[in-house]
Structure 1
Amino acid sequence: MSTYLGLLALFLLTAATGYFVAQEFAFVAADRGILREQASAGDAAAERALQVTSRLSFMLSGAQLGITVTALLVGFLAEPAIAVIVRPWLAGWGLPDGMITGVSVATGVFVATVVQMVLGELAPKNLGIARPEAVAKFLARSTLAYLAVVGPVVRLFDSAATGLLRRLGIEPVEEVEHGVTPEELSRIIAESTQAGELPPKLSELLERALEFGDRNAEEIMVPRPRVVVLRASQPISDMLDAMRACGHSRYPVLAEDGDVVGVTGVRELLASGQEEGPVSTITRPALLVPASVPLPAVLERMRVAKDDIACVIDEYGGLAGVITVEDLAEELVGELVDENDPEPVGALEHPGGVWEVPGSLRLDEVERATGVALPESDDYDTLAGLVLARLGRMPDQGDSVTVPVKPDSDPFAEDVEKHLAELTVISLNRRVPEWVRLAPVRHAEAAR
């Protein structure tokens, strides 16, 4: 082969390598949603690109075959041609004949490698990543034709690779997944927020939406001890007294044995026009949901029933708590306060990374308020529950426990010992921690 044909082969093979590299990266990076929209609008190239992405694993195998063959041909054809070109120059520099051959071959390998890497690998890769949809549409027709030609060879190689993996105890995946899990979405949101691409408020809203589907009724309900209930036999005057005292507009109604018989409230009172008689006369059927039902299902049941309150029932059939539409909304957008609600009291920050936190806050709410991720468990949901679980007994005021903090969330100073936090009971309510002091454990304290 002449020298010029060798150089021509180098650039043609490099272009072929670049074609396969761009093909590989563009179809992997292309947004299928964008391609579907364009295909729906009548874009034939987008339709062809979707045909390729529907067989992404097969396309990648074909691209790898093309890259491998063209790279081998560069070494076989182009590098000797380059060596022939540089050999006279090396001889003119007075190098011994024994060195000229080795240096010329090495130079040929170096030049071919640089050309292959820059023009055949890196530039097409960056183009495919920067303009994935445009490149995918441009290459789609030729890619389909190429796969039709080399398909039998690709299937043969794929079968061999699949058999090898199965012998090693690994089950191959036929196609590349394009969807993402909630965990991956959460990581994307966190990374986008850190990079400044998402406003913090929007990031929090998206995180709450992701967490919404993972929670159940028991996790967000107002627990039974904090629910004002009425007995079916109580007079309506007692209901009026309860409204004046607590300001709630809806109340679960219980039978004498504690079973839920319904709900009542301002709407039922006004509709009846009654001021006397038992509460049972203005009680309507209650929407009952098990404690384990996921929040999206609770929301759907409330929508279908056209009800704004649901009674949460535990596994023994008793009232575990209540959920309102407002509670569900707060899981998505944060605390909502109307004119009848007391001013919400959240975590209070003190110097030195010390916090005073309501024991009723869930651990995810504690993390959101303080930045401290405390250990979670199926045995408890709230900060008070964590303290009770670690103490193993009913607490007294001043009791404290030391718990680990997730290192990647620890906002404490550098002198904190092994990411530990001390939880101290400040006050009790109904024998459980009402307020808890959250403080870092520092070196001196840990050493004692």
Structure 2
Amino acid sequence: MNAVLGLLAVLLLTAATGYFVAQEFAFVTADRIALEQRARSGDRGAARAVRVMERLSFMLSGAQLGITVTALVVGFIAKPALADLIAPPLRALGTPRAMVDGAALTAGFVLATVVQMVLGELFPKNLALARAEPMARALASSTLLYLKLASPLIRLFDASANRLLRAVGIEPVEELHHGATLEELGHIIGESGEELAEGHADLLERALSFSERTAGEVMVPRVDVVTVSADAPLRVLSEIITAHGHTRYPVVGDRIDDVLGVVGLDDLVRLTPEEIDAAPVRAVARPPLLLPSSLPLPDVVDRLQAADVPLGCVVDEYGGFAGLVTWEDVAEELVGEIADENDAGEDLAIRRGEWWTTDAGLRTDEVAHETGIALPEGDYETVAGLLLQRLGRVAEPGDVVTVDLPPTRMGEPPRRAVVEVLTVHRHVPELIRLRAVGLEEAP
């Protein structure tokens, strides 16, 4: 009779252990955002589950207390109870009297361990992982009651553990971080790329990196900007618009760094031919929106919207004119290259055999997106900057630079990129070609 009662106690305590294990894993793995949404729609179980998750560290301490106590009591009761049940069959089988007690205790220990592991640990753990939100809602009421009743004991053990943590310089936290960092989201998107619709992974990756970009990184550089002198007659502006096709141009003074305003086609259409012949550009120029080159893109968007202008003039840390940033430049950081009537319609990178031919003025991340060759990052933004840094001098056609490529996947063999300068403009690489090779192939 005592053995039967002991066995029943073991089963009840094992169920209690399973309860605390399910409690621990359900609240840790449950989607809190989903529970909060259900709570707002009137689900009381979800609301109680959210209350538990707001004190996740305290709940985990309570679960650990329950698991520890029930497991210890199971161990204390299970071995003798199961041994009492196993000993009679062993004697009936003719086991020597001297071996019966030891064999029964050993068999009881093994059986108790199996029961505790399967029913008390693994089954409730796997159930909670597979049905985290339903389990969290189902366990929430009893968990809150248990935490209230056991609160003094939990606080005692929690306070002792927290003192030890503070003694080694670590500040304990009550609620676990349940969000994901930008880097973690990037890894998630990268790993889920094949499961997302075509183009969605790229769009998400661009959206994540959007806030890290600055005006200086996305602008049209000054050397590629067509400007108009403030003292030039408006007919010159008309000729420039006809020649280049853009609708707006920065107005500069005696020096190109002296940006006085912005003028465009809409300023001309309101004037008579006589006024166009007589008036200087400065007469119709509008004040420029000046943007620091270090300004993050979200702030660029805010400034463009607040000023209600289509472009901003980017200035560097010395106050010099660095380039232009337009709504198109901003949009391309999210959706990729946008072709308009002024674009040639050519691909950013063209593949010929193993080589990719592309513009050296592209950023390294743009080259990686177009070619799959992730050039190393450094104190430069473009491929031209990388080449000039590695060469240590002005570039010439035929210059070849070999750079080590950072690994993109675990276990990937080391690779290098061979970059060759094809053409040069103003001593800066203009057109280049590149390819990725193994270490044994690199020149």
The C-alpha deviation readout for 1:358-412, integer Å capped at 9, x for no partner, is 10111111111122221101x2001111011111110111111221101225999
Partner of 1:219: 217
Q: 1:99 to 1:169 in 2, by over 3 A?
A: farther
Aligned residues of 1:371 and 1:411 also touching (Cα < 8 A): no
* Larger deviation, residues 321-330 vs 22-31: 22-31
Q: What SS does the aligned partner of 2:408 have?
A: helix
Partner of 2:375: 374
Q: How does 1:17-32 map to 2 (within 5 A)?
A: 17-32=17-32
Q: 1:444 to 1:281 in 2, by over 3 A?
A: same
Aligned residues of 1:21 and 1:121 also touching (Cα < 8 A): yes
The C-alpha deviation readout for 1:44-94, integer Å capped at 9, x for no partner, is 222111111110111111111111111111101123211221222222333
Partner of 1:65: 65
Distance, in Å, in 2 between the alignment partners of 1:19 and 1:314 is 62
1:206 is matched with which residue: 188, 193, 204? Answer: 204
Q: What SS does the aligned partner of 1:355 have?
A: strand
Distance, in Å, in 2 between the alignment partners of 1:271 and 1:87 is 107
Q: In the alignment, residue 431 of structure 2 is paired with which amino acid?
A: W
Aligned residues of 1:373 and 1:410 also touching (Cα < 8 A): no
Q: 1:411 to 1:99 in 2, by over 3 A?
A: closer
Q: TM-score, normalised by structure 2?
A: 0.94
Q: 1:29 to 1:271 in 2, by over 3 A?
A: farther
Residue 260 (structure 1) shift: 1.0
Is 2:167 the partner of 1:171? no
Distance, in Å, in 2 between the alignment partners of 1:251 and 1:8 is 87
Partner of 1:337: 339
Distance, in Å, in 1 between the alignment partners of 2:215 and 2:410 is 29
The C-alpha deviation readout for 1:106-157, integer Å capped at 9, x for no partner, is 2212222222222222221122222222111111111111111111111111
Q: What SS does the aligned partner of 2:153 have?
A: helix
Q: TM-score, normalised by structure 1?
A: 0.93
Q: How does 1:251-262 map to 2 (within 5 A)?
A: 251-258=249-256, 259-262=258-261
Q: In the alignment, residue 373 of structure 2 is paired with which amino acid?
A: V
Residue 442 (structure 1) shift: 4.0
Partner of 2:265: 266
Aligned residues of 1:289 and 1:313 also touching (Cα < 8 A): yes
Q: In the alignment, residue 230 of structure 1 is paired with which amino acid?
A: V
Q: How does 1:46-445 map to 2 (within 5 A)?
A: 46-193=46-193, 196-258=194-256, 259-273=258-272, 274-276=275-277, 277-352=279-354, 354-377=355-378, 379-408=379-408, 418-445=414-441
Query: Percent identity at matched positions?
Result: 52
The C-alpha deviation readout for 1:210-269, integer Å capped at 9, x for no partner, is 000011110100000001111111111211221122111111111113311111111222
Aligned residues of 1:372 and 1:410 also touching (Cα < 8 A): no
Q: Which runs of 5+ in 2 are unaligned?
A: none
Partner of 1:37: 37
Aligned residues of 1:372 and 1:411 also touching (Cα < 8 A): no
* Larger deviation, residues 7-16 vs 216-225: 7-16
Residue 172 (structure 1) shift: 2.8
Distance, in Å, in 2 between the alignment partners of 1:121 and 1:394 is 67
Aligned residues: 439
Aligned residues of 1:23 and 1:136 also touching (Cα < 8 A): yes
Distance, in Å, in 2 between the alignment partners of 1:440 and 1:185 is 28
Residue 200 (structure 1) shift: 4.1
Residue 322 (structure 1) shift: 0.5
Aligned residues of 2:253 and 2:260 also touching (Cα < 8 A): yes
Q: 1:147 to 1:411 in 2, by over 3 A?
A: closer
Distance, in Å, in 2 between the alignment partners of 1:271 and 1:117 is 84
Q: In the alignment, residue 242 of structure 2 is paired with which amino acid?
A: R
Distance, in Å, in 2 between the alignment partners of 1:147 and 1:423 is 64
Distance, in Å, in 1 between the alignment partners of 2:146 and 2:317 is 62
Distance, in Å, in 1 between the alignment partners of 2:352 and 2:92 is 80
Is 2:13 the partner of 1:13? yes
* Larger deviation, residues 303-312 vs 333-342: 333-342
Aligned residues of 1:371 and 1:409 also touching (Cα < 8 A): no
Residue 168 (structure 1) shift: 2.8
Q: What SS does the aligned partner of 2:192 have?
A: helix
Distance, in Å, in 1 between the alignment partners of 2:294 and 2:420 is 31
Aligned residues of 2:373 and 2:436 also touching (Cα < 8 A): no
Q: 1:186 to 1:23 in 2, by over 3 A?
A: same
Q: What SS does the aligned partner of 2:199 have?
A: helix
Q: In the alignment, residue 261 of structure 2 is paired with which amino acid?
A: G
